[in-house]
Amino acid sequence: MSRWEPGARERLVVAAVDLFTEQGYDATTVTQIAERAGVTKSTFFRHFPDKRELLVAGQETLSRLLAEGIAEAPDDVSPLEAVAAGLERAASAMGTMNRDLAPRLKAAVAASGELQARDALKTVSLAAAMTTALVARGIPDPTAALAGELGVLAFKRGFAQWSEADEDARNEPARYFLTALDELRTASATLG
C-alpha cells in the first residue's frame, strides 16, 4: 500500500460506500475500507475521524459553496433567487463521482439507522449555512430560515433526480436543483 498516492480521500469514500452497500455499515471496518482504498489505516484517520464521517465527506465544501453563491447573488434578488444562486454554485462542483455514488450511498443510508442520523445532521448543517448567508444579506431570520430549508429540500430533490437521470444530463445538476426549487416555490404558494 502506498501512503502518499494522490486521491486517497476520494478512494476512501468510494471504498466505504461500496463496502457499506455490499455488507452493511455495521459489518464494515475501518481496516477493510483502508485496504479496499489501497491506503493504510493511519491514512484513513488522517482524512476521517471515523467511518461515519465518510458519509458527509465534502459537506464543509458544499456548505461553503452554497453560502458563497448566496452571498454573491445580486443585491436586488429575492431570498429564493439568492438560494438559487447558491444551488448553482454548489452544482458547479458536482461531478461524475457524486452522481455515480448517489444510488449506492442512498441504499447504504437507508439500511443504517446511524447513517440516517448522520444524514439528518448534514441536512441541518446545510440549512444553517444557507440561513446564515441569507441573514448576512439582511433577510429577516424567519424568512431566511424558511428559504434555507427550501434550499435544502431543493438540493436533495434535485440531487436525487440528477443521479437517476440519463447520460445526457450527467453534466447538468444545476438544472435539476433549480427545477426542484421552482417546484417547491409553486407548492409553497398553495399552502395558503
Residue pLDDT, tens place only, 103-124: 888 888 888 888 888 888 889 9
Domain with CATH 1.10.357.10 in the chain: 58-189
Query: The cell 479496499 sits on which residue?
Result: 36
pLDDT value at residue 169: 62
**Count of alpha carbons within 13 angstroms of residue 102, beta-carbon side:** 19
pLDDT value at residue 170: 64
Domain with CATH 1.10.10.60 in the chain: 8-51
Distance CA 27, CA 51 (A): 11
In sequence order, which ranges of 24-140 are alpha helices (DSSP H)? 30-37, 41-47, 59-71, 79-91, 96-110, 113-136
Residues 6+ apart with CB under 8 A from 88: 69, 174, 177, 178
Tell me the whole-structure pTM to 2 decimals.
Answer: 0.84
pLDDT value at residue 37: 94
- Regions of the chain short of the pLDDT cut 50: 1-4
CA-to-CA separations, 93 to 18, 23, 65, 161, 186, in angstroms, rounded: 22, 30, 8, 17, 27
Going by CATH, does the domain composed of 58-189 fall within 1.10.357.10? yes
Going by CATH, does the domain composed of 8-51 fall within 3.20.20.70? no
Q: Helices 96-110 and 141-164, interaxial angle, to 10°?
A: 100
CA-to-CA separations, 104 to 122, 145, 188, in angstroms, rounded: 18, 31, 31
pLDDT value at residue 15: 93
Distance CA 66, CA 149 (A): 12
pLDDT value at residue 3: 47
Residues 91, 27 contacting (CB under 8 angstroms): no
